[in-house]
């Protein structure tokens, strides 16, 4: 064998060894093969709504805890917006995550329609996308030829159960009002429909229904107006606990704490305390500390098996009352 041939052989051997450095470069035993190098951990971006809302900060903490317990499996990037209505910022965050080359996005969209185009860009870039909390609009998804699995509770049934519990303390013909979330959000619509169904079944009259955009301060202002316009109001049904807190403040200011009841949705700590103190009747627990975790687990499954068919997953939602809370 010539020196030049030996040199070429040595170069070839070196070029083989370098990429196999992590698994060794030893002679291969007969009928065996070297294991493939372990792939890098996938990066998963969790993109949420307002982190000023305790529900979403609880969701973030649950996700961080899950990642710390499963750190060999994935890395987690947590993002949120300051205001529930800041759709432009949430879309910009998703674009930033695409540019950062994360492998998956788990998103709780602030709007069921407006976020679809940017999520289409994410899918076209090869990212796995999982929708949690607030379901994306099915018609818009269809128009964009997009399939995104939804992981979350049945908001309509959850709100209906809260409304049914309230109805037990009212009588047919009583007047109530509803504080809605952002009207272009699927979960806001579903909760309103659940409240309406429960009141209709019980013969209770909804005399006012307005959006407070999930915000406490807006809810306080609107609830005060409702109480003034409808002096016989017996209850306010709020589509989340943040708005329920605003309604309770308005009721207190109107000196109607003993005559106007409040229910909510989300089971944040302030609502739990209000229920224990008798200031709020009930709420719904959609297990915010686990909701992002459910989405992350589905994203990991889809990353591990790209050929698997993404399917929606319905998660638990439970009625919370004074009787179900630990004292």
Model pLDDT, residue 29: 32
Cβ neighbours of 23 (radius 10 Å): 12
Spatial strand order of the sheet with 282-285 comes to 205-211, 175-180, 233-238, 261-263, 282-285, 318-321
User: Residue 37 has which token pair?
Assistant: 């190098």
* pLDDT the model gives residue 309: 87
pLDDT band at 37 (very low <50, low <70, confident <90, very high): very low
Reported as a pLDDT band with limits 50, 70 and 90, residue 313 is: very high
Mean pLDDT of the chain: 89
Nearest CA to 159 among 189, 135, 203? 189
Confidence of residue 294 (pLDDT cuts 50, 70, 90): very high
pLDDT of residue 65: 98
For 137-196, the pLDDT digits (tens) are 999 999 999 999 999 999 999 999 999 999 999 999 999 999 999 999 999 999 999 999
User: Mean pLDDT over residues 300-325, rounded?
Assistant: 94
The full set of domains in the chain, from first to last, is: 43-151+288-315 (3.40.50.2300), 155-285 (3.40.50.2300)
**110-144 confidence digits (pLDDT tens):** 999 999 999 999 999 999 999 999 999 999 999 99
Q: Is the dihedral of CA 116, 122, 125, 128 positive or negative?
A: negative
Global pTM reads 0.84
Average pLDDT rounded to a whole number, residues 16-29: 33
């Amino acid at each position: 064998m010539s020196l030049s041939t030996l040199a070429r052989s040595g170069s070839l051997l070196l070029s083989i060894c370098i990429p196999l450095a992590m698994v060794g470069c030893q002679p291969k035993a007969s009928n065996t093969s070297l294991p493939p190098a372990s792939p890098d951990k996938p990066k998963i971006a969790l993109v949420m709504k307002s982190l000023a809302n305790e529900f979403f900060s609880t969701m973030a903490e649950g996700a961080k805890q899950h990642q710390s317990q499963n750190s060999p499996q994935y890395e987690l990037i947590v993002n949120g917006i300051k205001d529930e209505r800041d759709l432009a910022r949430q879309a910009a965050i998703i674009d930033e995550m695409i540019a950062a080359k994360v492998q998956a996005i788990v998103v709780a969209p602030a709007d069921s329609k407006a976020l679809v185009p940017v999520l289409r860009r994410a899918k076209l870039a090869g990212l796995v996308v999982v929708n949690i909390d607030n379901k994306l609009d099915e018609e818009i998804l269809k128009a964009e030829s997009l399939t995104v699995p939804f992981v979350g509770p049945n908001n309509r049934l959850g709100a209906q159960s809260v409304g049914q519990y309230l109805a037990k303390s009212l009588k047919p013909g009583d007047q109530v009002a509803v504080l809605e979330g952002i009207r272009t959000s699927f979960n806001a619509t579903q909760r309103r429909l659940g409240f309406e169904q429960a009141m209709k079944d019980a013969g209770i009259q909804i005399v006012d229904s307005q959006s407070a955009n999930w915000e406490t301060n807006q809810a306080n202002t609107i609830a005060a107006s409702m109480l003034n316009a409808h002096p016989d109001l017996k209850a306010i049904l709020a589509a989340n606990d943040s708005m329920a807190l605003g309604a309770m403040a308005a009721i207190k200011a109107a000196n109607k704490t003993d005559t106007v009841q409040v229910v909510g949705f989300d089971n944040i700590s302030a609502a739990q305390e209000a229920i224990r103190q008798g200031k709020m009747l009930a709420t719904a627990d959609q297990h915010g500390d686990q909701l992002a975790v459910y989405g992350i687990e589905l994203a990991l499954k889809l990353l591990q098996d790209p050929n698997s068919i993404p399917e929606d997953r319905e998660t638990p939602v439970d009625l919370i009352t004074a009787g179900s809370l630990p004292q």
